[in-house]
Chain A
Amino acid sequence: VLILVRSPLPRLRALLQGCWGRLERSLWPGVLGGQSPPWGPALAVQGPALVPQGINDAGESAAEAPSLLESILWMAAPKQRRTIEVNRCRRRHPSKLIEVKRNIDVCPECGNLKQKHVLCGYCYAKVKEETRLIRMEIYKKEGGPFNTPTVETLVLYEGEKPKEKDAGKRIIERARKRPSWFVQN
């Protein structure tokens, strides 16, 4: 619902009144000027004349097409102010309160809290950081886009040598000790 506020500034009020006038004239043409726009029955049906035409015209010309101020009467609006007791019953109903979560556990790796069906946030952040550093090394080795070789990549940490089965692979060196969670094949 739009709340129309009468502002203290006279210029703004004049602007609003101008806007309002234009709106009224566009939506209901000819109402304010006193001339009714050309109207007629949209569908002409053969039947007995329920109301004689003369009285109909007299009745219609007396009350013109309803303006917005009268058509507000048929809009849905609250009849009474809702008391604070009623409001509290609605706002504090158990369905609206936050439920206590029963699916929180302790991560066996790091000891932080985690939800049962979700990865541990701390461990995930750790892995993400290490992946970012490996990707930086790859970027330094490749030098630019579209230089990815068609062979496998192998990540080696300090003091590790590639084995015979890792013959044709591209090797990425990381200058740190191998993390416990990154198991070597």
Chain B
Amino acid sequence: SGAAWARGLLSWARPERWLACSSLFPLSCIHTSTSLQKIGKWEKKNRIVYPPQLPGEPRRPAEIYHCRREIKYSKDKMWYLAKLIKGMSIDQALAQLEFSDKKGAKVIKEVLLEAQEMAVRKHNVEFKSNLHIAESLTGRGRYVKRVRCHGKGMFGVMKISRCHYFVKLVEGPPPPPEPPRTGFDQAKEYVQQLRNRTLVHTL
């Protein structure tokens, strides 16, 4: 239990995460990036390095994080596509996106193909079809306000919206979908709640 506690503490502290970006020399930790542009949090998730697994542990599936920034599309419209492919295998997702009429479908397809390529080359994934989409999110990009001219000299302010798209691919077949909640499950939960009640403020 002591070893487990120590391993738990080590997994929380995770010093290998801090050393992932630096080389042998400690001072080169400062400003190793060439440009002043901030590297996003999603891109940094690819840099974490886990300690080697012990022989008895089950194999940890590979996780690949990829994103594209400042896509000229609305984040609400992009969300519908992200919701469509959440939880699918990568082949099924590519098939759905290929025959979707939306503008964002083309962009997401490119992102998925890039991520698949990255997975095979850099992240030690054996079969490119053995990936499924664990998370797919959209975020708000930078908006720009512009004047929109109406008739009779009136004008309004329109905002040109952009979005980011984030995807996390995990190796392995897609997880089975959750069975829908039946009335029987709800009744069981209700009875269990009634049984969990205790007396309070008593002896």
List residues of chain A with CB under 8 Å of any chain B CB. 2-5, 15-16, 19, 23, 91-92, 96-98, 100-101, 104, 113, 115
- In terms of DSSP, what is the predominant structure of the interface of chain A? loop
Contact B95 A5 (CB under 8 A): no
Most buried by A among B76, B84, B99: B99
User: Measured between C-beta atoms, what is the minimum distance from A154 to chain B in Å?
Assistant: 38
Count of A-B residue pairs with CB < 8 Å = 41
Contact A5 B155 (CB under 8 A): yes
Contact B84 A98 (CB under 8 A): yes
- In terms of DSSP, what is the predominant structure of the interface of chain B? mixed
Contact A4 B96 (CB under 8 A): no
Given contacts A91-B76, A97-B84, A98-B81, contact A113 B98 (CB under 8 A): yes
Given contacts A3-B156, A3-B157, A4-B154, contact A113 B95 (CB under 8 A): yes
Docked CA distance A104–B155 (Å): 46
List residues of chain B with CB under 8 Å of any chain A CB. 76, 80-81, 83-84, 95-96, 98-100, 102, 150, 152-157
Q: Which of B76, B81, B95, B153 contacts A19 (CB 8 A)?
A: B153
Docked CA distance A113–B84 (Å): 18
Contact A23 B152 (CB under 8 A): yes
19 residue pairs bridging A and B, Cβ less than 8 Å apart: A2-B154, A2-B156, A3-B156, A4-B154, A5-B155, A15-B153, A16-B153, A16-B154, A19-B152, A91-B76, A96-B80, A97-B80, A98-B100, A98-B102, A104-B95, A104-B98, A113-B95, A113-B98, A115-B99
